[in-house]
């Protein structure tokens, strides 16, 4: 490879690796639930940055930019797997769109106090980590990266409707997970 084409200097790369690799590794693990996969994809992020497959536009911080590349790589890998099938609601709603199980009209108590409760946050995080990878990537985009729906849809090649369906389905699963792991225990 001709080194003249490389805008990212080795020194610059080293600085980024030092500063952001730990964060990226943890985020990748959260999304993939596997250390080796997380290590591979983070290596891949830095390699593609150094090979100038993507350049930093300066509009966002380096951390935001690297995180976007990471999410993109992970989503890209899982996209094929999910594209073939639509989000499935058959275990939750019947053919008429009515709830299958009757009766859960319970109210969660002390909600306001829970928001700043660390133990609760850990449970919530654990529940998110059990979702399928592509859904997790979207949730991280929305809640951790604070990205706009339109942007996420364009990048992931999702229709608005599919995007909301993924959130709808994720939320149903999260609700059940919190019910079992927090509110019932």
Provide the binding-site residues for another protein, judged by CB under 8 A.
1, 3, 6, 10, 13-14, 17-18, 21-22, 25-27, 29-30, 35, 38-39, 42-43, 46-47, 50-51, 89, 92-93, 96-99, 102-108, 111, 114-116, 118, 120-122, 124-125, 128, 139, 143-144, 146, 149, 160, 164-165, 167-168, 171-172, 174-175, 178
Measured from the CB atom, is 80 or 176 closer to another protein? Answer: 176
Measured from the CB atom, is 57 or 106 closer to another protein? Answer: 106
Residue 83 CB, nearest approach to another protein (Å)? 20
Residue 50 CB, nearest approach to another protein (Å)? 5
Residues 6+ apart with CB under 8 A from 142: 149, 152, 167
Measured from the CB atom, is 5 or 80 closer to another protein? Answer: 5
Phi and psi at 173, nearest 5°, equal: -70, -40
SS3 9: coil
| Residue 74 and residue 41 in contact, taking contact as beta carbons nearer than 8 Å | yes
Residue 73 CB, nearest approach to another protein (Å)? 14
- Count CB neighbours of 170 within 10 A: 19
Measured from the CB atom, is 121 or 157 closer to another protein? Answer: 121
Residue 166 CB, nearest approach to another protein (Å)? 9
Measured from the CB atom, is 143 or 157 closer to another protein? Answer: 143
SS3 42: helix
In angstroms, the CA 176 to CA 89 distance is 14
The token pair at 80 is 């094929």
**CA torsion sign, 99 to 104 to 106 to 110?**
negative
| Residue 134 and residue 84 in contact, taking contact as beta carbons nearer than 8 Å | no
């Amino acid at each position: 490879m001709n080194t003249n084409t490389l805008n990212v200097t080795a020194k610059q790369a080293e600085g980024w690796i030092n500063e952001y690799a730990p964060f990226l590794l943890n985020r990748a693990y959260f999304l993939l639930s596997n250390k080796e996969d997380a290590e591979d994809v983070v290596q891949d992020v830095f390699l593609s940055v150094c090979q100038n497959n993507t350049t930093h536009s300066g509009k966002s911080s380096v951390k935001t930019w690297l995180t976007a590349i990471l999410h993109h790589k992970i989503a890209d890998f899982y996209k094929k797997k999910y594209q073939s099938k639509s989000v499935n609601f058959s275990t939750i709603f019947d053919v008429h769109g009515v709830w299958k199980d009757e009766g859960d009209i319970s109210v969660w108590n002390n909600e306001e106090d829970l928001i700043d409760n660390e133990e609760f946050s850990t449970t919530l995080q654990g529940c998110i980590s059990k979702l399928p990878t592509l859904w997790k990537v979207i949730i991280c985009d929305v809640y951790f990266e604070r990205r706009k729906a339109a942007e996420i849809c364009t990048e992931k090649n999702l229709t608005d409707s599919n995007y909301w369906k993924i959130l709808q389905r994720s939320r149903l699963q999260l609700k059940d997970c919190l019910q079992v792991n927090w509110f019932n225990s």
